[in-house]
Structure formats: structure tokens, C-alpha cells
A and B are shown apart, each in its own frame.
Chain A
């Protein structure tokens, strides 16, 4: 495992898996369909800062670039990336367990995926197809998801208070401040 995958306490994982011929359309439709069906299944992994599925159907060829020759992929590729807190092994353990129903519909449509598409076999498959990160920019490399969410809540609370407090006389302001934040550590 390359240390370029790590920034502070955060890890950047990427797996690239070829899509089985004939499964391109069903996979794309399944992934698109996830949007309208409530929270993302990736929300079942609370250590996740940012994760996404991307389908690469082919290289892009633009006639105005005047490339000497065209290159084409033989198969579609599925890319899964995730930036998360903590170590890779424990994260993949969680993913392979929590996302078992979805994994069958997603990686189950990729070349070489184990029949079960879950547990240790899926974990091994994902690690086998891992591509190391070249450069990992983590905006908050030392802040966990929990810390970021708490900070956002406190920011909204502070903004709301600052707006409300405008025009208050000093005594009222002090009382209001203590009432709002007095219990905060």
C-alpha cells in the first residue's frame, strides 16, 4: 500500500473494474436509479467523506484536438473512489458487509467479481483492482467526518445567533449568548 493513498488520517481508495459485455446498460441504469431512491447507499458507511461511482465507456476523441491516432477501450470500466477516515482494511470490511445488496448489482456486473459479491471475497477483489493514488489533496486531513459535521452545525448555529443578536443591547446580548452557547464545551 503506497503512502500516497494517505493524507493525515484520511485514506483515498480507487478500484477500477472492467464491466462484463452486455452489462453496460443495466449497470448505468442501476447507478442512475440510485439517485431517486432516497439516501445514497454510500451513506451506510459513516466514515466516508466523499465517494463516487463513475462509468468510463471509452476514451474521448475530439476532432479539434488533431490527435495522430484514435485509441479505444475494449470494455467499459467502472471506477469506484472513496475518501474516508481510518484504515483501508476495516473500511472495506464495512463496505463488503453493509453494501452487500448493492454490490451484487454493481461489482456483480464486472469481470472477475466473485459469485457472492460480498465479504472477504469481494474485499480481495477490490484490493486486487486497487489503483494507488498519485496525489491526495485532503481539505481536512486531520478532521473526521464526525468532526466536520459538528463544525458545520456549530457554524450554522453561530451564524443564526450573530444575525439574531444584531441590535441587542450589551446586557441582552450577554444573556442571549450564555443561553445559546453557555453549555458548550
Chain B
């Protein structure tokens, strides 16, 4: 049987999904656009974008574009482009309802309540998201300028929300942690990352995940075991093939609060210090070294991108003495920790492509400076409810499956102020819940069409 790689049509899938564009792109702008003109006019503007959309087809040496463009749409956006109700109804329920309608489920309450979100997000006004990556600022400004000119020319199309982001030194996020390197290994695309990124097998090996877990129109993990080889649920043709669902969330990070809480708690953390304590909360040292392999100190030369850097499992740390049971990475990707040969965790993986935003809080500062800074979280998955929401609701905002009662992920905070974090040890150490370190400032559920689907949307033949 031909491998999925031979069959995956990379030219039809948008870029930055299967393989990251890479750290050469320092700047990313996310521009949410609203359509205030008739669908035919909107589609004319939309058609103009298509020639500039970057695909998953590999670049030859020297061909790396200065800027890239990718396009995704909300349910409201599909309607604004003239897609019929019948076709929109074929998309998943959570996509159609939108992220802000599902705030209670996601734990976006209190300071993360949609009523406090940045203007333009979660209101139904966001129709199309243009994601522009650029290697350097002048190219970035040129690309943004062209984008705005095209909208002005079309008329009735304007930006309702824009976030400009930039990589931080060392590919860190604002709490100081190396981020983004642990990604799922996908059969036919990133098989080389299977060790640590795939499904842990009983014999100690790993295997990559089926592509349909992330790209619609391809076999997923269910297809593997289905005698009829049915493909996963997907929207009506021609929109599904080569597409994926996207989650976009702007997460404010209260860096000053995080530093103060860790500093104060570390004073009574026996035998430990601030770095060790914060590593216990996250599950990794700041340079990305996993606690389960390096429980006592971070290896100075650890590079998470080297092959095998992400190769670890929890079978030798069942009681959490090395990596706490409730630590962030153990919650967000339990690997083999839930037993049953990884079967309770392998259907909940996400491709993550987020970017930090806002300037850094100077090192050592523990007073807030009023700057809006944090992480734009972006994930791609075949099912928003099974993959993104499953992790958010069952693993981050609850502790039951880990035997932790109602303790929630300490890093993401707990607006209800209940529960705690236990750092397993002799003796155990406890962290009291705080005001939230991370607040949702806005978000949307989107669909990233394949190239053929984009063309169908543009010429009004999507149904």
C-alpha cells in the first residue's frame, strides 16, 4: 500500500501546518478582517489573495519567500463569502458556535470572560484571518501595506482586530520557557520526529500519528482500525479536503505576578530554589530539558531540537517524584502516563504554531509595567472538540483523570480559586491557587481551507 506521504498533496495544503515555516520568520501579523459588502464583492477581494497564499510544498534552496500569507475563515466568514447554510451546517458544531459562545466550557470566566475581550474578537465580526509571516521588518511593512491597499481598493472590507507579534530571543515565551518545539509526529510528513513526538508503543518504540488527526480528507487514527476505512467527519466537499480547523487565542501573561508568586513560594521550598520550583510547575527547565529525564538540574547544553531531545515517557515516574503529576506539560500531553498503552492520550494531540506578543518585562522586575504581553496560541487539529477542547477542559482545567481531584493547571491559573498544586516529594510541597497568571484576551475558531477549497470559496462554487 502506498504510504500516506506519496498521497499527501502538499501543493493543496496551506503552509505552516505540517511543517513550521521556521525561526527565520521573526514577525507574524494576525489580521482579522470583517466583510461589510455583498458576497460577490467580498469574493472578488478574496480571489486577489489566492496567488499569494503559501502552500506546504517544500521550498528549494534559496527559494524561501521573504513573506508568507495564509488564510483562514470563521463560520460567520463563510456566510459573508456567500456559502449556503446547508454547507456551513456541515462544519463541526463547536466551529459554528464559535469560541466565545463556549466560554463557560473552556473556563473563560472572570478575568477571561469574553465581555472583557479585546474589541473585534468573539463578536462574530471576525470573518477572515490573514496570517502574514516575514523575515524582517521592512518586508513585513511592505506586505501589510499591500494587504491594506487591496482592502481599500475592494471597499467594504476592513480590519477589526490586528496583533503584531515577534519572536523573543532564544524562542522563549514570556515566562522564560523555550516553547514550540514539542510537536506531534505525522505519518508521511514528520516521521523523523516520531521518537518523543508520536505514539509511545509497548516495546519502547514510537510511531507517528495518522495525518487525518490534523488534515481533513486523510485517514485518521479511527480509520486505521475501521474495517470500512471511513475517513473522519469533515465538511461538505469541496471544502474539506486538505483543510484543518484552527484555534486562535490571545493569552495575556502576568509575568510580574508569576515572578512574585514563585519568588515567595520558593522561600519555603525545602532544598529548592526559584528555578527548580518553576520547573516543577511547568515540567521542564527553562531551556526545555524535561524534568522526568533531568530531575535535579538542567543540562547546560540541552537543545530541545536535537533528535531525541523530546524522547521521554513517564513509566518510570508514576508517582510524579521527578515530574509532578499536575505539571503543565504532563497535563497537556500525558504520553504514556494514563496507561492503556497511550490510548487515552493519542487522539488529543495538536499542532501548535503560536507566537509571543508584546515587549519583555526586564529581567528581575517584579512590578507590572502595564504592558500588554503574552502568547498568541495557535493550534491546528482535525477536531476542535476532541483535541483542543478535550485538553483544555479535561486535562488543564480539571485534575480528575490524574487523580488530582479538582486541582487545575497551576500555570494557566484558576479563576475560581479552588484546588492547589501538589509537588510530589518527601515531603510534598503545596502551591496555593493564585489570581490567574494567564488571561484570555480574545479568540476565534477558524477553518483553514486547502488551495482547491480556497479557489471554490473565491469563485462561489463552494455550495
Chain B residues with CB below 8 A from A64, complex form: 233
Give per-residue flags for B418-432: 1 if the beta carbon is below 8 A from chain A beta carbons, else 0.
Answer: 101000000001111
CB distance from A87 to the nearest CB of B (A): 30
A166 at the interface (CB under 8 A from B): yes
A182 at the interface (CB under 8 A from B): no
Contact B429–A166 (Cβ < 8 Å): yes
B268 at the interface (CB under 8 A from A): yes
CB-CB contacts below 8 Å: A28-52 with B: none
A167 at the interface (CB under 8 A from B): yes
Contact A167–B432 (Cβ < 8 Å): no
A-B contact count (CB 8 A): 16
A2 at the interface (CB under 8 A from B): no
CB distance from A94 to the nearest CB of B (A): 29
Chain B residues with CB below 8 A from A156, complex form: 418
Categorize the interface residue count of chain B. 10 to 19
Contact B432–A163 (Cβ < 8 Å): yes
B267 at the interface (CB under 8 A from A): yes
Give per-residue flags for B390-430: 1 if the beta carbon is below 8 A from chain A beta carbons, else 0.
Answer: 00000000000000000000000000001010000000011
Closest to B420 in A: A159
Closest to A160 in B: B432
Give per-residue flags for B208-236: 1 if the beta carbon is below 8 A from chain A beta carbons, else 0.
Answer: 00000000000000000000000001000
Chain A residues with CB below 8 A from B418, complex form: 156
Q: A178–B111 Cα gap in the complex (Å)?
A: 38
CB distance from B7 to the nearest CB of A (A): 22
CB distance from B432 to the nearest CB of A (A): 5
Give per-residue flags for A149-181: 1 if the beta carbon is below 8 A from chain B beta carbons, else 0.
Answer: 000000010011011001100000000000000
Q: Identify the B interface with A (CB < 8 A).
A: 233, 267-269, 418, 420, 429-432
Nearest 7 A/B pairs, CB to CB = A167-B268, A166-B268, A163-B432, A163-B430, A162-B430, A159-B420, A64-B233
Q: Identify the A interface with B (CB < 8 A).
A: 64, 156, 159-160, 162-163, 166-167
Q: Can you report 16 residue pairs joining A to B where beta carbons are below 8 Å apart?
A: A64-B233, A156-B418, A159-B420, A159-B430, A160-B432, A162-B430, A163-B420, A163-B430, A163-B431, A163-B432, A166-B268, A166-B269, A166-B429, A166-B430, A167-B267, A167-B268
